[in-house]
Amino acid sequence: MASKPNEKRTFQTLSNNDNQRERSGMSVYLEHVPTQSLPVTTTAASRCVKFALVLIAAISTIVFQLWLPSTVTVTDILGESTPCAGAKDFDWYSLEPSRDIRWTSCYSDQKCARLLLPLDYDIPDGPATAIALRIIPATDKENYRGTLLLNPGGPGGSGTEFIARRGIDISQIVGGSYDVLGFDPRGIGATTPAARCFDTESQWKLWELQRDTRLLNLTDDTVHIARAREKLLTARCEEKIGGEWGIARFAGTHLVARDMLEIVERLGQQKVHYWGFSYGTVLGQYFAALYPQKVGRLIIDGVFDAYSYRANIWNTSLVDTDAVIASFFQHCHHAGPEKCALWEPSPA
Ligand SMILES: *[C@@H]1O[C@H](CO)[C@@H](O)[C@H](O)[C@H]1NC(C)=O
Ligand SMILES: *[C@@H]1O[C@H](CO)[C@@H](O)[C@H](O)[C@H]1NC(C)=O
């Protein structure tokens, strides 16, 4: 089953050195903010240095992201502010992928697994993808309510890294009664096969550098450069991740929605509980449309109009901007002068 032709495919480009260790997730379309290296061979200290670099990179990309027709949420922008404390090395590739979920302890009190699912659900015994799963177990076991799946957005965002950044907060927000689960969608992060159009991180960075230094703009004399770059990139991606069994054909949103269902069923649960941000709201809407009977509790946060997304129009993303800002001031006012530095006697 191929991705539908119009579906906005995102290729997570990860460096792939011989040892498959040094990684940095970035996708061609939106999720340009570099993600942290997988904590595999890096030490906590070196990750802190990297974190600082990532922050700088993240700040410099905000400007870039703002002129993209995307729903960049605050989470996307601030999402990289991972505290270094507690960072622990973990080798995802030491986990044997399996068709049932076998949890292994990771990142101190969390659990990780790699779940094998068919690339093509019509060919269940054909080539598989190993989906990386990372969970923060529920703290309130007495009131246990199931597993909450997360998607941070992108498309191209890593759910396992999102757990590192926001998992504890989210676990607390939902009262500790859910296992909070981040998964790396097809092609992304520690999930294999990875959708990478470049062989190394340096290749990718050089490519991006040319864009970020504003070599390209919309003047007549540069449009042809932009076109040439798109053609090159397309050819590269076709070579690296295209083809009959290339991951590009099997990374569509509808398949990720099916993966979510499979994950939850393998956990022995009936309904999917889900919290998705930004592009994750598209994924949530796809899931609800495809499997309405399987929806438990579903939050879509920073909502992207899925029709507009799917039709590649993307013109509805700003329609609620004024209402969102008004709501921010309402809440800020409600929080009071102690907590809200912008507080005024009236929210308007
Ligand atoms: C557009 O790009 C060209 C080539 O890099 C450059 O010479 C020109 O100054 C740029 N124009 C603007 C408005 O940035
Ligand atoms: C978005 O584009 C569609 C199709 O062109 C149009 O029907 C719709 O009114 C537009 N919506 C907004 C908010 O601009």
> Which residues are paired to 27 by β-bridges?
12
Nearest protein Cα to ligand 1, atom 7 = 215
**Residues 9-30: what's their mean pLDDT?**
30
Q: Where is mean pLDDT largest: 2-16, 36-50, 86-100, 283-297? A: 283-297
Position 187 scores a pLDDT of 96
Q: Which of 126, 117, 136 is nearest to 187 (CA)?
A: 117
Mind listing the pLDDT tens digit for each residue in 255-304?
A: 999 999 999 999 999 999 999 999 999 999 999 999 999 999 999 999 99
Q: How confident is the model at residue 212 (pLDDT cuts 50, 70, 90)?
A: low
Ligand 2 center from residue 314 Cα (angstroms):
9
Q: Which of 128, 134, 164, 168 is nearest to 149 (CA)?
A: 134
Asked whether the beta carbons of 69 and 314 are under 8 A apart, the reply is: yes
Report the residue among 217, 220, 223, 225 best suited for mutation to probe ligand 1: largest number of ligand atoms under 8 A from its CB: 217
Nearest protein Cα to ligand 1, atom 14 = 217
Segments making up each domain of the chain, as ranges? 42-311
Calculate helix-pair angle for 253-266, 279-290, nearest 10 degrees.
70
**Binding-site residues, ligand 2, Cβ < 6 A:** 313, 315-316, 319
**Residues 326-338: what's their mean pLDDT?**
95
Give residue 311's identity as a one-letter amino acid code: A
CA 127 to centroid of chain Cα atoms: 23
Does the pLDDT value for residue 196 go beyond 60? Answer: yes
**Residues 28-55: what's their mean pLDDT?**
33
Report the residue among 313, 318, 321 best suited for mutation to probe ligand 2: largest number of ligand atoms under 8 A from its CB: 313
Position 123 scores a pLDDT of 97
Q: Where is mean pLDDT largest: 20-34, 136-150, 194-208? A: 136-150
Pairing, β 272-277 against β 146-151:
parallel
What is the pTM (predicted TM-score) of this model? 0.72
Instruction: Give Rg (Cα) of the chain.
Output: 20
Asked whether the beta carbons of 162 and 79 are under 8 A apart, the reply is: yes
Does the pLDDT value for residue 46 go beyond 70? Answer: no
Domain 42-311: CATH class, spelled out: alpha beta
Query: How many C-beta atoms surround the C-beta of residue 170 within 10 A?
Result: 18
**Residues 211-229: what's their mean pLDDT?**
72
Q: Which ligand is nearest to the CA of 218?
A: 1
**Residues 157-176: what's their mean pLDDT?**
97
Cα distances (angstroms) measured from residue 105 to each of 5, 54, 302: 40, 27, 32
Ligand 2: nearest atom to the Cα of 319:
13
CA atoms of 187 and 129, how far apart (whole Å): 8
**Residues 13-20: what's their mean pLDDT?**
28
Nearest protein Cα to ligand 2, atom 6 = 315
Which region among 120-129, 251-260, 311-320 has the lowest average model confidence (pLDDT)?
Answer: 311-320
